[in-house]
Amino acid sequence: MTTVTIDNVSRWFGNVVAVNDVSMTIGPGVTGLLGPNGAGKSTLINMMGGFLAPSTGSVTLDGQTIWRNERAYRHIGIVPERESMYDFLTGAEFVLANAELHGLPNPEAAARKALATVEMEYAQGRRIDTYSKGMRQRVKMASALVHDPSVLLLDEPFNGMDPRQRLQLMDLLRQMGAEGRTVLFSSHILEEVEQLAHHIEVIVAGRHAASGDFRKIRRLMTDRPHRYLVRSSDDRALAAALIADDSTTGLELGIEAGRGALRIQAVDFARFTELLPRVAREHGIRLYEVSPSDESLESVFSYLVAA
Amino acid sequence: MSTVYHPTVARLTYRALLGRRRAAILFALPLLLLVISAAVRALTGADDSTAREVLSGFALATMVPLIGVIAGTGAIAPEIDDGSIAYLLSKPVKRPTIILTKLLVAMLVSVGFAAIPTFLAGLILDGNSQHLAVAFGVAAAVASLTYSAVFLLLGVVTRHAVVAGLVYALVWESLIGNLVPGARTLSVQQWALALAAKVADGGAVSSDVALPTAVVLLVGVTLVATWFAGRRLRALTLAGEE
Protein backbone atom coordinates (compact mmCIF):
# COMPACT_ATOMS: atom_id res chain seq x y z
CA MET A 1 0.00 0.00 0.00
CA THR A 2 1.43 3.33 -1.04
CA THR A 3 0.36 6.74 0.16
CA VAL A 4 1.39 10.19 -0.98
CA THR A 5 1.14 12.72 1.83
CA ILE A 6 1.09 16.44 1.27
CA ASP A 7 1.59 18.22 4.54
CA ASN A 8 1.03 21.99 4.88
CA VAL A 9 2.56 22.59 1.49
CA SER A 10 2.89 26.02 -0.06
CA ARG A 11 4.74 26.92 -3.19
CA TRP A 12 5.32 30.35 -4.55
CA PHE A 13 7.05 31.67 -7.64
CA GLY A 14 8.38 35.11 -6.85
CA ASN A 15 5.39 37.00 -5.51
CA VAL A 16 2.83 34.59 -6.91
CA VAL A 17 1.47 31.94 -4.58
CA ALA A 18 0.67 28.90 -6.71
CA VAL A 19 -0.18 26.52 -3.88
CA ASN A 20 -1.30 27.83 -0.53
CA ASP A 21 -1.03 25.69 2.59
CA VAL A 22 -2.46 22.48 1.15
CA SER A 23 -2.63 19.23 3.09
CA MET A 24 -4.00 16.04 1.63
CA THR A 25 -3.39 12.33 1.60
CA ILE A 26 -3.66 10.34 -1.60
CA GLY A 27 -4.13 6.63 -0.99
CA PRO A 28 -4.81 3.57 -3.16
CA GLY A 29 -7.59 3.85 -5.71
CA VAL A 30 -8.34 6.55 -8.22
CA THR A 31 -8.32 10.15 -6.99
CA GLY A 32 -9.29 13.09 -9.15
CA LEU A 33 -7.54 16.41 -8.67
CA LEU A 34 -10.07 18.93 -9.86
CA GLY A 35 -9.69 22.64 -10.36
CA PRO A 36 -9.97 25.40 -12.89
CA ASN A 37 -7.06 26.19 -15.19
CA GLY A 38 -4.27 27.91 -13.29
CA ALA A 39 -5.51 26.71 -9.90
CA GLY A 40 -2.21 25.06 -8.99
CA LYS A 41 -2.93 21.47 -10.01
CA SER A 42 0.22 21.11 -12.11
CA THR A 43 2.34 22.70 -9.41
CA LEU A 44 0.95 20.20 -6.91
CA ILE A 45 1.54 17.25 -9.25
CA ASN A 46 5.05 18.49 -10.03
CA MET A 47 5.78 18.53 -6.30
CA MET A 48 4.38 15.01 -5.91
CA GLY A 49 6.55 13.93 -8.85
CA GLY A 50 9.68 15.43 -7.31
CA PHE A 51 10.12 18.01 -10.07
CA LEU A 52 9.58 20.94 -7.78
CA ALA A 53 10.49 21.60 -4.17
CA PRO A 54 7.74 22.86 -1.88
CA SER A 55 8.51 26.34 -0.53
CA THR A 56 7.24 25.17 2.84
CA GLY A 57 5.79 21.89 4.07
CA SER A 58 6.61 18.38 2.89
CA VAL A 59 5.59 15.95 0.18
CA THR A 60 6.31 12.34 1.08
CA LEU A 61 5.78 8.87 -0.32
CA ASP A 62 5.20 6.43 2.53
CA GLY A 63 7.13 8.75 4.81
CA GLN A 64 10.07 9.29 2.41
CA THR A 65 10.65 12.77 1.02
CA ILE A 66 10.20 12.76 -2.77
CA TRP A 67 12.21 15.90 -3.66
CA ARG A 68 15.81 15.04 -4.50
CA ASN A 69 15.19 11.37 -3.85
CA GLU A 70 15.77 9.44 -7.07
CA ARG A 71 14.89 6.15 -5.42
CA ALA A 72 11.28 7.27 -5.05
CA TYR A 73 10.91 6.87 -8.82
CA ARG A 74 11.02 3.09 -8.46
CA HIS A 75 7.49 3.43 -7.13
CA ILE A 76 6.20 6.42 -9.07
CA GLY A 77 5.07 6.59 -12.69
CA ILE A 78 4.52 10.05 -14.15
CA VAL A 79 2.54 11.18 -17.16
CA PRO A 80 3.49 14.85 -17.65
CA GLU A 81 1.13 17.32 -19.25
CA ARG A 82 3.68 18.65 -21.69
CA GLU A 83 3.65 17.08 -25.10
CA SER A 84 7.36 16.90 -25.76
CA MET A 85 8.95 13.50 -25.64
CA TYR A 86 11.95 12.21 -27.51
CA ASP A 87 10.11 12.77 -30.75
CA PHE A 88 12.91 11.38 -32.91
CA LEU A 89 12.45 7.93 -31.36
CA THR A 90 9.80 5.39 -32.28
CA GLY A 91 7.19 4.59 -29.65
CA ALA A 92 8.88 1.25 -28.96
CA GLU A 93 12.33 2.82 -28.61
CA PHE A 94 10.96 5.45 -26.25
CA VAL A 95 9.27 2.98 -23.92
CA LEU A 96 12.31 0.70 -24.03
CA ALA A 97 14.57 3.63 -23.08
CA ASN A 98 12.32 4.33 -20.10
CA ALA A 99 12.50 0.66 -19.06
CA GLU A 100 16.30 0.73 -19.28
CA LEU A 101 16.51 3.95 -17.29
CA HIS A 102 14.56 2.22 -14.55
CA GLY A 103 17.22 -0.50 -14.57
CA LEU A 104 14.66 -3.26 -15.13
CA PRO A 105 16.09 -6.79 -15.47
CA ASN A 106 14.28 -7.42 -18.76
CA PRO A 107 13.55 -4.04 -20.34
CA GLU A 108 12.43 -5.45 -23.71
CA ALA A 109 9.72 -7.61 -22.14
CA ALA A 110 8.59 -4.76 -19.87
CA ALA A 111 8.35 -2.36 -22.82
CA ARG A 112 6.37 -4.87 -24.88
CA LYS A 113 3.97 -5.44 -22.02
CA ALA A 114 3.47 -1.71 -21.37
CA LEU A 115 2.81 -1.01 -25.05
CA ALA A 116 0.30 -3.86 -25.13
CA THR A 117 -1.44 -2.46 -22.05
CA VAL A 118 -2.10 0.84 -23.82
CA GLU A 119 -2.84 -0.92 -27.15
CA MET A 120 -0.12 0.86 -29.05
CA GLU A 121 1.63 -2.17 -30.54
CA TYR A 122 0.28 -1.36 -33.99
CA ALA A 123 2.14 1.98 -34.16
CA GLN A 124 5.16 1.19 -31.98
CA GLY A 125 7.52 1.21 -34.96
CA ARG A 126 6.57 4.73 -36.02
CA ARG A 127 8.41 7.85 -34.95
CA ILE A 128 6.69 9.74 -32.14
CA ASP A 129 6.58 12.97 -34.17
CA THR A 130 4.11 11.26 -36.50
CA TYR A 131 1.72 10.42 -33.65
CA SER A 132 -1.61 12.05 -32.92
CA LYS A 133 -2.14 13.63 -29.53
CA GLY A 134 -4.03 10.59 -28.26
CA MET A 135 -1.29 8.24 -29.42
CA ARG A 136 1.33 10.37 -27.68
CA GLN A 137 -0.74 10.27 -24.54
CA ARG A 138 -0.88 6.49 -24.65
CA VAL A 139 2.85 6.12 -25.23
CA LYS A 140 3.46 8.48 -22.31
CA MET A 141 1.18 6.22 -20.32
CA ALA A 142 3.16 3.13 -21.39
CA SER A 143 6.41 4.83 -20.35
CA ALA A 144 4.92 5.57 -16.93
CA LEU A 145 3.68 1.99 -16.49
CA VAL A 146 6.75 0.19 -17.73
CA HIS A 147 8.21 -0.41 -14.25
CA ASP A 148 4.89 -1.42 -12.72
CA PRO A 149 4.72 1.51 -10.27
CA SER A 150 2.49 1.58 -7.23
CA VAL A 151 1.80 5.29 -7.69
CA LEU A 152 0.68 6.84 -10.96
CA LEU A 153 0.53 10.62 -11.36
CA LEU A 154 -1.18 11.98 -14.45
CA ASP A 155 -1.39 15.66 -15.34
CA GLU A 156 -4.43 16.37 -17.52
CA PRO A 157 -4.22 12.95 -19.18
CA PHE A 158 -7.40 13.33 -21.22
CA ASN A 159 -6.40 16.53 -22.98
CA GLY A 160 -6.66 16.13 -26.72
CA MET A 161 -8.02 12.61 -26.64
CA ASP A 162 -11.00 11.62 -28.72
CA PRO A 163 -13.98 10.08 -26.90
CA ARG A 164 -13.00 6.51 -27.67
CA GLN A 165 -9.43 6.97 -26.43
CA ARG A 166 -10.82 8.74 -23.40
CA LEU A 167 -13.00 5.76 -22.49
CA GLN A 168 -10.07 3.41 -23.05
CA LEU A 169 -7.81 5.37 -20.75
CA MET A 170 -10.56 5.65 -18.15
CA ASP A 171 -10.97 1.86 -18.18
CA LEU A 172 -7.24 1.45 -17.80
CA LEU A 173 -7.04 3.86 -14.87
CA ARG A 174 -10.05 2.25 -13.19
CA GLN A 175 -8.33 -1.10 -13.51
CA MET A 176 -5.11 0.31 -12.05
CA GLY A 177 -7.07 1.71 -9.13
CA ALA A 178 -8.89 -1.59 -8.59
CA GLU A 179 -5.53 -3.36 -8.46
CA GLY A 180 -4.68 -1.27 -5.41
CA ARG A 181 -2.43 1.30 -7.07
CA THR A 182 -2.52 4.90 -6.03
CA VAL A 183 -3.73 6.75 -9.12
CA LEU A 184 -3.99 10.53 -9.13
CA PHE A 185 -5.08 12.45 -12.19
CA SER A 186 -5.75 16.13 -12.64
CA SER A 187 -8.47 17.64 -14.74
CA HIS A 188 -10.39 20.86 -15.13
CA ILE A 189 -13.37 19.02 -16.60
CA LEU A 190 -15.96 18.06 -14.04
CA GLU A 191 -17.47 15.31 -16.19
CA GLU A 192 -14.15 13.52 -16.60
CA VAL A 193 -13.60 13.41 -12.89
CA GLU A 194 -17.18 12.36 -12.26
CA GLN A 195 -16.86 9.35 -14.54
CA LEU A 196 -13.62 8.10 -13.09
CA ALA A 197 -13.02 9.03 -9.50
CA HIS A 198 -15.12 8.58 -6.41
CA HIS A 199 -12.64 10.44 -4.33
CA ILE A 200 -11.76 13.95 -5.40
CA GLU A 201 -9.60 16.77 -4.19
CA VAL A 202 -10.62 20.22 -5.32
CA ILE A 203 -8.07 23.02 -5.73
CA VAL A 204 -9.17 26.59 -6.32
CA ALA A 205 -6.73 29.49 -6.61
CA GLY A 206 -4.01 27.48 -4.91
CA ARG A 207 -6.15 26.50 -1.97
CA HIS A 208 -7.57 23.12 -1.03
CA ALA A 209 -11.27 23.77 -1.45
CA ALA A 210 -12.84 20.38 -0.88
CA SER A 211 -11.93 16.76 -0.36
CA GLY A 212 -13.82 13.55 -0.26
CA ASP A 213 -16.55 11.58 -1.95
CA PHE A 214 -17.51 12.95 -5.30
CA ARG A 215 -21.25 12.58 -4.80
CA LYS A 216 -21.22 14.58 -1.60
CA ILE A 217 -19.28 17.37 -3.22
CA ARG A 218 -21.46 17.24 -6.28
CA ARG A 219 -24.52 17.59 -4.05
CA LEU A 220 -22.98 20.67 -2.50
CA MET A 221 -22.55 21.98 -5.99
CA THR A 222 -26.14 21.26 -7.00
CA ASP A 223 -27.67 22.76 -3.88
CA ARG A 224 -26.72 26.24 -4.89
CA PRO A 225 -29.18 28.40 -6.86
CA HIS A 226 -29.07 27.75 -10.59
CA ARG A 227 -29.34 30.59 -13.03
CA TYR A 228 -30.94 30.24 -16.41
CA LEU A 229 -31.47 32.47 -19.38
CA VAL A 230 -34.73 31.74 -21.18
CA ARG A 231 -36.21 33.15 -24.37
CA SER A 232 -39.79 32.31 -25.21
CA SER A 233 -42.78 33.47 -27.20
CA ASP A 234 -44.10 35.29 -24.09
CA ASP A 235 -41.49 35.92 -21.39
CA ARG A 236 -43.86 37.92 -19.17
CA ALA A 237 -46.54 35.25 -19.01
CA LEU A 238 -43.91 32.57 -18.44
CA ALA A 239 -42.42 34.60 -15.58
CA ALA A 240 -45.82 35.00 -13.94
CA ALA A 241 -46.48 31.28 -14.11
CA LEU A 242 -43.05 30.26 -12.83
CA ILE A 243 -42.88 32.59 -9.84
CA ALA A 244 -45.91 30.85 -8.36
CA ASP A 245 -43.76 27.76 -7.78
CA ASP A 246 -41.39 27.34 -4.81
CA SER A 247 -38.54 26.11 -6.98
CA THR A 248 -37.89 29.59 -8.35
CA THR A 249 -36.64 32.38 -6.15
CA GLY A 250 -36.00 35.17 -8.59
CA LEU A 251 -37.12 36.32 -12.02
CA GLU A 252 -35.99 39.25 -14.09
CA LEU A 253 -37.27 40.47 -17.42
CA GLY A 254 -34.69 42.25 -19.49
CA ILE A 255 -32.80 42.59 -22.69
CA GLU A 256 -29.94 40.25 -23.47
CA ALA A 257 -27.86 40.65 -26.62
CA GLY A 258 -30.45 42.97 -28.11
CA ARG A 259 -33.35 40.60 -27.57
CA GLY A 260 -35.85 40.17 -24.79
CA ALA A 261 -34.86 37.54 -22.23
CA LEU A 262 -36.00 36.13 -18.92
CA ARG A 263 -33.42 35.49 -16.20
CA ILE A 264 -34.46 32.87 -13.71
CA GLN A 265 -32.90 31.81 -10.43
CA ALA A 266 -33.95 28.34 -9.31
CA VAL A 267 -33.16 26.61 -6.02
CA ASP A 268 -34.51 23.14 -6.69
CA PHE A 269 -32.74 21.96 -9.80
CA ALA A 270 -34.72 18.73 -10.31
CA ARG A 271 -38.08 20.29 -9.74
CA PHE A 272 -37.36 23.31 -11.92
CA THR A 273 -36.22 21.26 -14.90
CA GLU A 274 -39.52 19.42 -14.73
CA LEU A 275 -41.53 22.58 -14.05
CA LEU A 276 -40.34 24.76 -16.90
CA PRO A 277 -41.47 22.64 -19.88
CA ARG A 278 -44.74 21.75 -18.12
CA VAL A 279 -45.65 25.38 -17.40
CA ALA A 280 -44.74 26.40 -20.93
CA ARG A 281 -46.94 23.68 -22.38
CA GLU A 282 -49.89 24.49 -20.10
CA HIS A 283 -49.76 28.19 -21.07
CA GLY A 284 -49.14 27.62 -24.75
CA ILE A 285 -45.75 29.36 -24.58
CA ARG A 286 -42.99 28.27 -26.95
CA LEU A 287 -39.49 28.03 -25.50
CA TYR A 288 -36.85 29.22 -27.96
CA GLU A 289 -33.85 28.99 -25.71
CA VAL A 290 -33.06 27.66 -22.27
CA SER A 291 -29.44 27.99 -21.23
CA PRO A 292 -27.74 27.74 -17.86
CA SER A 293 -25.89 31.00 -17.30
CA ASP A 294 -23.51 30.05 -14.53
CA GLU A 295 -22.52 26.47 -15.22
CA SER A 296 -18.89 27.32 -15.78
CA LEU A 297 -16.63 25.33 -13.54
CA GLU A 298 -15.19 28.48 -12.05
CA SER A 299 -18.59 29.49 -10.72
CA VAL A 300 -19.14 26.02 -9.33
CA PHE A 301 -15.79 26.24 -7.62
CA SER A 302 -16.32 29.70 -6.26
CA TYR A 303 -19.58 28.43 -4.77
CA LEU A 304 -17.70 25.51 -3.27
CA VAL A 305 -15.10 27.77 -1.75
CA ALA A 306 -17.78 29.98 -0.28
CA ALA A 307 -19.67 26.93 1.13
CA MET B 1 25.21 0.39 -13.17
CA SER B 2 28.16 2.66 -13.46
CA THR B 3 27.86 5.99 -11.70
CA VAL B 4 29.59 7.99 -14.42
CA TYR B 5 28.02 6.56 -17.54
CA HIS B 6 24.53 5.37 -18.42
CA PRO B 7 24.31 3.79 -21.88
CA THR B 8 20.64 4.71 -22.35
CA VAL B 9 21.26 8.37 -21.49
CA ALA B 10 24.20 8.32 -23.91
CA ARG B 11 22.09 6.81 -26.70
CA LEU B 12 19.34 9.37 -26.25
CA THR B 13 21.89 12.20 -26.19
CA TYR B 14 23.66 11.03 -29.36
CA ARG B 15 20.43 10.72 -31.24
CA ALA B 16 19.23 14.10 -30.00
CA LEU B 17 22.51 15.75 -30.99
CA LEU B 18 22.90 14.19 -34.38
CA GLY B 19 19.22 13.95 -35.24
CA ARG B 20 18.20 17.58 -34.91
CA ARG B 21 18.46 20.23 -37.57
CA ARG B 22 21.33 21.98 -35.87
CA ALA B 23 23.38 18.84 -36.43
CA ALA B 24 23.77 20.08 -40.00
CA ILE B 25 26.22 22.69 -38.66
CA LEU B 26 28.20 19.89 -37.03
CA PHE B 27 28.81 18.45 -40.46
CA ALA B 28 29.01 21.71 -42.40
CA LEU B 29 31.73 23.48 -40.38
CA PRO B 30 34.39 20.75 -40.54
CA LEU B 31 33.57 20.22 -44.19
CA LEU B 32 34.07 23.93 -44.81
CA LEU B 33 37.44 23.80 -43.01
CA LEU B 34 38.61 20.88 -45.14
CA VAL B 35 37.42 22.54 -48.34
CA ILE B 36 39.17 25.81 -47.42
CA SER B 37 42.35 23.93 -46.52
CA ALA B 38 42.34 22.05 -49.81
CA ALA B 39 41.72 25.27 -51.73
CA VAL B 40 44.49 27.14 -49.89
CA ARG B 41 46.90 24.28 -50.47
CA ALA B 42 46.01 24.19 -54.17
CA LEU B 43 46.37 27.93 -54.59
CA THR B 44 49.40 28.75 -52.45
CA GLY B 45 51.14 25.41 -52.00
CA ALA B 46 52.40 24.17 -48.61
CA ASP B 47 53.17 27.19 -46.46
CA ASP B 48 53.57 27.11 -42.68
CA SER B 49 52.43 30.62 -41.98
CA THR B 50 49.27 30.24 -44.12
CA ALA B 51 48.59 26.92 -42.43
CA ARG B 52 48.93 28.60 -39.03
CA GLU B 53 46.54 31.35 -40.09
CA VAL B 54 43.85 28.88 -41.16
CA LEU B 55 44.29 26.53 -38.21
CA SER B 56 44.44 29.26 -35.62
CA GLY B 57 42.16 31.89 -37.16
CA PHE B 58 39.38 29.66 -38.47
CA ALA B 59 39.68 26.21 -36.87
CA LEU B 60 40.65 27.03 -33.30
CA ALA B 61 39.14 30.51 -32.99
CA THR B 62 35.82 29.94 -34.72
CA MET B 63 35.00 26.36 -35.58
CA VAL B 64 36.04 24.66 -32.33
CA PRO B 65 34.01 26.99 -30.05
CA LEU B 66 31.01 26.85 -32.39
CA ILE B 67 31.04 23.05 -32.41
CA GLY B 68 31.49 23.20 -28.64
CA VAL B 69 28.39 25.38 -28.34
CA ILE B 70 26.33 23.04 -30.49
CA ALA B 71 27.52 19.85 -28.79
CA GLY B 72 27.64 21.21 -25.24
CA THR B 73 24.33 23.01 -25.14
CA GLY B 74 22.69 20.59 -27.57
CA ALA B 75 23.39 17.68 -25.23
CA ILE B 76 20.94 18.98 -22.64
CA ALA B 77 19.38 22.39 -23.33
CA PRO B 78 16.69 21.30 -25.83
CA GLU B 79 15.45 18.64 -23.39
CA ILE B 80 15.20 21.19 -20.59
CA ASP B 81 13.49 23.68 -22.91
CA ASP B 82 10.78 21.33 -24.11
CA GLY B 83 10.41 19.51 -20.81
CA SER B 84 11.29 16.07 -22.15
CA ILE B 85 14.09 15.89 -19.57
CA ALA B 86 11.27 14.93 -17.20
CA TYR B 87 11.57 11.40 -18.58
CA LEU B 88 15.22 11.25 -17.54
CA LEU B 89 14.74 12.93 -14.19
CA SER B 90 11.82 10.72 -13.14
CA LYS B 91 14.07 7.69 -13.03
CA PRO B 92 16.22 6.16 -10.30
CA VAL B 93 19.35 7.48 -12.03
CA LYS B 94 21.64 9.84 -10.16
CA ARG B 95 21.67 13.36 -11.56
CA PRO B 96 25.49 13.54 -11.71
CA THR B 97 25.41 10.33 -13.80
CA ILE B 98 23.10 12.06 -16.26
CA ILE B 99 25.43 15.07 -16.45
CA LEU B 100 28.62 13.01 -16.75
CA THR B 101 27.15 10.84 -19.49
CA LYS B 102 25.91 13.83 -21.43
CA LEU B 103 29.28 15.50 -20.98
CA LEU B 104 31.11 12.43 -22.32
CA VAL B 105 28.85 12.41 -25.37
CA ALA B 106 29.31 16.15 -25.94
CA MET B 107 33.08 15.74 -25.61
CA LEU B 108 33.22 12.84 -28.04
CA VAL B 109 31.09 14.70 -30.56
CA SER B 110 33.19 17.87 -30.19
CA VAL B 111 36.45 16.02 -30.57
CA GLY B 112 35.07 14.06 -33.51
CA PHE B 113 33.68 17.05 -35.36
CA ALA B 114 36.23 19.71 -34.34
CA ALA B 115 39.59 18.23 -33.31
CA ILE B 116 39.90 15.47 -35.89
CA PRO B 117 38.99 17.77 -38.81
CA THR B 118 41.49 20.33 -37.47
CA PHE B 119 44.21 17.70 -37.50
CA LEU B 120 43.21 16.61 -41.03
CA ALA B 121 43.17 20.23 -42.19
CA GLY B 122 46.72 20.60 -40.85
CA LEU B 123 47.81 17.58 -42.89
CA ILE B 124 46.14 18.95 -46.00
CA LEU B 125 47.63 22.41 -45.55
CA ASP B 126 51.27 21.55 -45.09
CA GLY B 127 51.64 17.88 -44.25
CA ASN B 128 52.33 18.37 -40.53
CA SER B 129 55.35 20.56 -41.13
CA GLN B 130 56.73 21.87 -37.80
CA HIS B 131 54.17 19.46 -36.20
CA LEU B 132 51.50 22.08 -36.81
CA ALA B 133 48.79 19.52 -37.63
CA VAL B 134 49.38 17.57 -34.41
CA ALA B 135 49.79 20.75 -32.34
CA PHE B 136 46.54 22.28 -33.50
CA GLY B 137 44.80 18.90 -33.37
CA VAL B 138 45.79 18.56 -29.69
CA ALA B 139 44.81 22.16 -28.98
CA ALA B 140 41.43 21.66 -30.65
CA ALA B 141 40.88 18.45 -28.67
CA VAL B 142 41.57 19.96 -25.24
CA ALA B 143 39.64 23.11 -26.11
CA SER B 144 36.72 20.85 -27.20
CA LEU B 145 36.74 19.10 -23.83
CA THR B 146 36.65 22.36 -21.87
CA TYR B 147 34.09 23.99 -24.18
CA SER B 148 31.83 20.92 -23.83
CA ALA B 149 31.85 21.22 -20.04
CA VAL B 150 31.33 25.00 -20.04
CA PHE B 151 28.53 24.98 -22.62
CA LEU B 152 26.84 21.98 -21.01
CA LEU B 153 26.74 24.01 -17.80
CA LEU B 154 25.29 26.94 -19.74
CA GLY B 155 22.64 24.57 -21.11
CA VAL B 156 21.61 23.68 -17.56
CA VAL B 157 21.65 27.16 -16.04
CA THR B 158 20.13 29.33 -18.75
CA ARG B 159 17.35 29.05 -21.24
CA HIS B 160 19.39 31.14 -23.65
CA ALA B 161 22.36 28.81 -23.65
CA VAL B 162 22.97 28.90 -27.38
CA VAL B 163 22.95 32.70 -27.50
CA ALA B 164 25.18 32.95 -24.44
CA GLY B 165 27.51 30.36 -25.95
CA LEU B 166 27.66 32.16 -29.27
CA VAL B 167 28.36 35.47 -27.56
CA TYR B 168 31.23 33.87 -25.68
CA ALA B 169 32.59 32.03 -28.71
CA LEU B 170 32.33 34.85 -31.21
CA VAL B 171 32.48 38.07 -29.22
CA TRP B 172 34.76 37.15 -26.35
CA GLU B 173 37.11 34.66 -27.97
CA SER B 174 37.34 36.28 -31.40
CA LEU B 175 36.66 39.97 -30.99
CA ILE B 176 37.58 41.02 -27.45
CA GLY B 177 40.49 38.60 -27.42
CA ASN B 178 41.92 40.35 -30.45
CA LEU B 179 41.35 43.85 -29.13
CA VAL B 180 42.02 43.58 -25.41
CA PRO B 181 45.19 41.65 -24.63
CA GLY B 182 44.21 41.01 -20.98
CA ALA B 183 41.08 39.17 -22.04
CA ARG B 184 43.23 36.53 -23.66
CA THR B 185 44.24 35.16 -20.28
CA LEU B 186 40.63 34.15 -19.78
CA SER B 187 40.30 32.49 -23.15
CA VAL B 188 40.00 28.75 -23.64
CA GLN B 189 41.52 29.29 -27.05
CA GLN B 190 44.71 30.78 -25.55
CA TRP B 191 44.98 27.98 -23.01
CA ALA B 192 44.74 25.48 -25.82
CA LEU B 193 47.32 27.43 -27.84
CA ALA B 194 49.74 27.10 -24.93
CA LEU B 195 49.54 23.33 -25.43
CA ALA B 196 49.92 23.73 -29.18
CA ALA B 197 53.04 25.83 -28.59
CA LYS B 198 54.51 23.00 -26.52
CA VAL B 199 53.78 20.37 -29.18
CA ALA B 200 54.82 22.36 -32.26
CA ASP B 201 58.43 23.03 -33.17
CA GLY B 202 59.97 25.90 -31.17
CA GLY B 203 58.36 29.24 -31.87
CA ALA B 204 55.97 27.95 -34.54
CA VAL B 205 52.95 28.63 -32.33
CA SER B 206 52.71 31.19 -29.54
CA SER B 207 50.25 31.79 -26.73
CA ASP B 208 49.67 34.64 -24.28
CA VAL B 209 49.34 32.19 -21.41
CA ALA B 210 52.09 30.10 -19.83
CA LEU B 211 51.69 26.33 -20.12
CA PRO B 212 51.28 25.51 -16.40
CA THR B 213 48.66 28.23 -16.00
CA ALA B 214 46.89 27.00 -19.09
CA VAL B 215 46.76 23.38 -17.90
CA VAL B 216 45.52 24.35 -14.45
CA LEU B 217 42.83 26.56 -15.96
CA LEU B 218 41.73 23.98 -18.54
CA VAL B 219 41.41 21.21 -15.98
CA GLY B 220 39.98 23.49 -13.29
CA VAL B 221 37.31 25.06 -15.47
CA THR B 222 36.29 21.68 -16.88
CA LEU B 223 35.94 20.12 -13.43
CA VAL B 224 34.16 23.05 -11.82
CA ALA B 225 31.73 23.43 -14.73
CA THR B 226 30.91 19.71 -14.58
CA TRP B 227 30.44 19.69 -10.84
CA PHE B 228 28.24 22.77 -10.93
CA ALA B 229 26.13 21.38 -13.78
CA GLY B 230 25.44 18.24 -11.76
CA ARG B 231 24.49 20.34 -8.76
CA ARG B 232 22.17 22.55 -10.78
CA LEU B 233 20.49 19.58 -12.44
CA ARG B 234 19.82 18.09 -9.04
CA ALA B 235 17.91 21.22 -8.08
CA LEU B 236 16.37 21.73 -11.51
CA THR B 237 12.72 22.49 -11.15
CA LEU B 238 10.36 21.89 -13.97
CA ALA B 239 7.83 24.61 -13.54
CA GLY B 240 4.63 23.65 -15.27
CA GLU B 241 2.97 25.81 -17.86
CA GLU B 242 0.86 27.52 -15.28
Q: What is the ipTM of this complex?
A: 0.90
Ranges of each domain in chain B: 7-234
The per-residue DSSP string of A35-61 comes to: --TTSSHHHHHHHHTTSS--SEEEEEE
Give chain A's domain count.
Answer: 2
Q: How confident is the model at residue B240 (pLDDT cuts 50, 70, 90)?
A: very low
Same domain for A21 and A64? yes
Are the Cβ atoms of A46 and B91 closer than 8 angstroms?
no
Q: How confident is the model at residue A278 (pLDDT cuts 50, 70, 90)?
A: very high
Restricting to A residues 122-151, those with a Cβ less than 8 Å away from any Cβ of B are 143
Res B241: pLDDT: 39
Restricting to A residues 30-59, those with a Cβ less than 8 Å away from any Cβ of B are 37-38, 40-43, 45-46, 49-53
**What residue numbers bound the domain in which A12 lies?**
4-221
Same domain for A162 and A265? no
Residue of B nearest to A149 (CA): B91
Each residue's pLDDT tens digit, A151-196: 999 999 988 788 888 888 899 999 999 999 999 999 887 778 888 8
The number of angstroms, rounded, from the C-alpha of B87 to the middle of its chain's C-alpha atoms is 27
- DSSP classification of residue B60: I
pLDDT higher than 60, residue A237? yes
Are the Cβ atoms of B240 and A81 closer than 8 angstroms?
yes
pLDDT higher than 70, residue A90? yes
Average pLDDT (A215-226) is: 67
* Spatial CB neighbours of A28, under 8 Å, sequence gap ≥ 6: A1, A2, A3, A177, A180, A181, A182
**CA–CA gap between residue A228 and residue B164 (Å, rounded):** 57
Same domain for A150 and A253? no
Most A-contacting residue of B12, B13, B90 (CB-CB within 10 A), to test interface: B90
Residue after which a domain boundary falls, among A192, A221, A250: A221
Decide: pTM greater than 0.95. no
Average pLDDT (A212-223) is: 70
Same domain for A193 and A149? yes
Same domain for A279 and A186? no
Alpha-carbon separation of residue A197 from A13, B156, B187 (angstroms):
30, 38, 60
Same domain for A166 and A234? no
Are the Cβ atoms of B239 and A78 closer than 8 angstroms?
no
Most B-contacting residue of A19, A47, A68, A101 (CB-CB within 10 A), to test interface: A101
